């Protein structure tokens, strides 16, 4: 093996060991790796940095904007509330999430699917009081399972199909040809996750979840007439499972219902009184069909989709101290509406407008985005804090977001446009149609994930150009002694190994010509080897860098590199075994 190949292998192993034994960010480790390879002149700067201009990486960046449009319009709320529902256990939550995600993953590219569902599943995990680490890897795996079932489920399958027609000059695969092996693998994979996650998936809480506020707010919301919530029970509407939130009472037609059962049905005009922590109070603002009970929000000049939520602590010097919110004309004075009030961790037994403000009260305000600048030096407030990530869903545009997503899927699935073009077009339409703002689009990118993926492409390119990947493949194949079954096992194993340390598409591109030459020499049927390469390159579970979706859930799940090794290696071996048992029976080796 050439000297440069040994250096590349050493740097790759060093990166993997660093990720496995430290908590240094994946993006920093991968960038350090390609920097070292450039310094040692193993790879040119153009090759090392090629990932930053790679079509897949830029497509993922555009897909973050598409996901932002879906999130800001509340387009995925129906799926989360109706399909995912309110599970009673972690296992039930995984079943409710993985089955629909696997199905959707078979018909749309798994990267945009995970990008769109990631923030929704994170919120859903909090609502269900489940650690996100129990759901994030299963989310990525479910998308991968689905992608392995059809030709259009993942870009890897399309790459392999393109090689099949261009290099092997054979007819391409049909849409469901991979389903013969993909569906059994998906079902067994789901079973593995359900059975083993309780022991192998850590119960980690991301840092952001460890900083939740314990202050208790009092908030009033109103059920809009002719809204989707009308005639739903409290339980079906999802208003009993919000963590840290308690429904105190319902005011209906001037009468108060203090003891509310889960089967109580909502009516238009109901005033709902809640007490709870700010995260769940914010969640109430996002539910379609609920609006703040105070009519003051309709008197603010700005459109609701352009507003934000601010926490403000009243100072003793504030002119509002000793006055009720209504009598003090809070909205007129500050151009802000009080949504909720917290005082000494106790519920205030009054309607929002009748609450008499005290020094030290914490108010949750709905106002325009310039409020912080206007009152940064005000003596009326001791503290002002913007609620991060808070947006009021543009529910009226949710159908537009769905149409854009569907159009992108069809354009890609039918081969009308490449993924990058379809993704950028969809992202642009999300902004043009005001499903999300340009500012939100800019803030939607997860830079650390994008940098880590781009850098991993550079290391993969170094393995390729240095000859390390090809040498590894040839060495392993030489150990098969020309036995067709052993060659098939080796082809899958090599592709699987390369997928975990470089990229899935690169692994397929490297192994494909080696497999083609080997089968041609021995006079074997090439099709089973094509299926093996496609399955092995699509089914990446053991490292976060092997597949984009694994890396996308890395941070939100609070994972460490070892979590993927511990949970993913047995799954890789399971998929390998099942594929080897099925493939020769469907596609004869000779």
CA 582 to chain centre: 32
Q: Are strands 255-257 and 217-223 parallel, antiparallel or unpaired?
A: unpaired
CA distance 411 to 562: 38
Q: What structural domains and CATH numbers belong to the chain?
A: 3-205+446-581 (no CATH), 216-276+289-386 (3.30.70.1450)
Asked whether 563 and 554 are in contact (CB, 8 A), the reply is no
Q: What is the dihedral sign for C-alpha 318, 323, 324, 330?
A: negative
Query: What pLDDT is recorded for position 529?
Result: 94
Query: What pLDDT is recorded for position 531?
Result: 95
Residue with tokens 């049909």: 174
* Assigned token pair, 117: 């569902």
CA distance 464 to 460: 6
Query: What pLDDT is recorded for position 355?
Result: 87
Query: What pLDDT is recorded for position 207?
Result: 38
Which of 160, 174, 167 has the alpha carbon at shortest distance from 504? Answer: 160
Query: What pLDDT is recorded for position 391?
Result: 60
What is the greatest pairwise CA distance in the chain? 91
Query: What pLDDT is recorded for position 489?
Result: 93
Query: What pLDDT is recorded for position 345?
Result: 63
Q: List all residues 6 or more positions away from 478 whose beta carbon is below 8 Å from its beta carbon.
A: none
Size (the chain), residues:
590
Query: What pLDDT is recorded for position 215?
Result: 60
Q: Under the phi-then-psi rule, with left for phi > 0, alpha for psi from -120 to 50, and beta for the rest, what region is 523?
A: left
CA distance 53 to 51: 5
Q: What angle do CA 320, 323, 329 make, to 5 degrees?
A: 70
* pLDDT < 50 regions, the chain: 206-214
């Amino acid at each position: 093996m050439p000297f440069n190949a040994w250096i590349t292998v050493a740097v790759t192993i060093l990166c993997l060991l660093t990720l496995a034994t430290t908590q240094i960010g994946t993006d920093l480790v991968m960038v350090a790796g390609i920097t070292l390879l450039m310094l040692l002149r193993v790879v040119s700067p153009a090759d090392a940095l090629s990932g930053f201009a790679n079509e897949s990486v830029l497509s993922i960046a555009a897909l973050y904007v598409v996901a932002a449009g879906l999130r800001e319009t509340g387009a995925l709320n129906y799926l989360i509330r109706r399909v995912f529902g309110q599970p009673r256990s972690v296992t039930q939550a995984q079943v409710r999430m993985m089955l629909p995600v696997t199905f959707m993953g078979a018909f749309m590219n798994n990267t945009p699917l995970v990008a769109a569902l990631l923030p929704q599943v994170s919120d859903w995990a909090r609502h269900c009081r489940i650690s996100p680490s129990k759901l994030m890897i299963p989310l990525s795996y479910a998308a991968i399972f689905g992608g392995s079932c059809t030709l259009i489920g993942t870009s890897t399958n399309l790459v392999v199909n393109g090689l099949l027609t261009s290099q092997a000059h054979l007819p391409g695969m049909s849409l469901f040809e991979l389903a013969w092996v993909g569906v059994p693998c998906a079902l067994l994979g789901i079973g593995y996750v359900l059975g083993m996650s309780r022991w192998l998936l850590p119960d980690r809480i991301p840092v952001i979840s460890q900083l939740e506020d314990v202050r208790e707010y009092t908030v009033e919301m109103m059920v809009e007439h002719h809204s989707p919530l009308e005639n739903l029970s409290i339980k079906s509407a999802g208003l009993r499972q919000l963590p840290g939130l308690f429904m105190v009472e319902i005011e209906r037609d001037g009468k108060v219902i203090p003891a509310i059962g889960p089967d109580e049905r909502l009516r238009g005009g109901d005033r709902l009184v809640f007490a709870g922590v700010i995260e769940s109070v914010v969640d109430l603002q996002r539910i379609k069909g609920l609006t703040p009970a105070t009519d003051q929000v309709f008197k603010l000049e700005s459109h609701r989709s352009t507003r934000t939520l601010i926490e403000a602590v009243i100072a003793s010097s504030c002119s509002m101290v000793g006055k009720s919110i209504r009598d003090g004309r809070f909205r007129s004075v500050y151009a802000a509406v009080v949504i909720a009030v917290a005082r000494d961790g106790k519920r205030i037994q009054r309607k929002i407008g009748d609450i008499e403000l005290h020094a030290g009260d914490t108010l949750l305000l709905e106002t325009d985005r310039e409020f912080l600048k206007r009152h940064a030096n005000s003596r009326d407030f001791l503290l002002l804090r913007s609620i991060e990530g808070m947006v009021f869903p543009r529910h009226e545009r949710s159908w537009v977001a769905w149409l854009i997503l569907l159009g992108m899927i069809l354009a890609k699935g039918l081969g009308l446009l490449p993924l990058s073009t379809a993704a950028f077009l969809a992202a642009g339409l999300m902004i043009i149609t005001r499903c999300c703002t340009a500012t939100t689009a800019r803030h939607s990118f997860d830079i650390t994930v994008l940098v880590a993926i781009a850098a991993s492409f550079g290391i993969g390119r170094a393995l390729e150009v240095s000859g390390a990947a090809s040498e590894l493949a040839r060495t392993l194949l030489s150990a098969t002694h020309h036995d067709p079954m052993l060659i098939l096992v080796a082809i899958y194993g090599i592709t699987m190994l390369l997928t975990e340390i470089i990229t899935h598409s690169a692994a397929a591109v490297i192994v494909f010509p080696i497999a083609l030459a080997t089968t041609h020499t021995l006079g074997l049927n090439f099709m089973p080897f094509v299926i093996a390469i496609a399955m092995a390159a699509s089914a990446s579970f053991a490292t976060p860098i092997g597949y984009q979706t694994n890396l996308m859930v890395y941070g939100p799940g609070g994972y460490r590199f070892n979590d993927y090794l511990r949970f993913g290696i047995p799954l890789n071996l399971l998929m390998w075994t099942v594929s080897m048992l099925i493939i020769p029976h469907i596609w004869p080796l000779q």
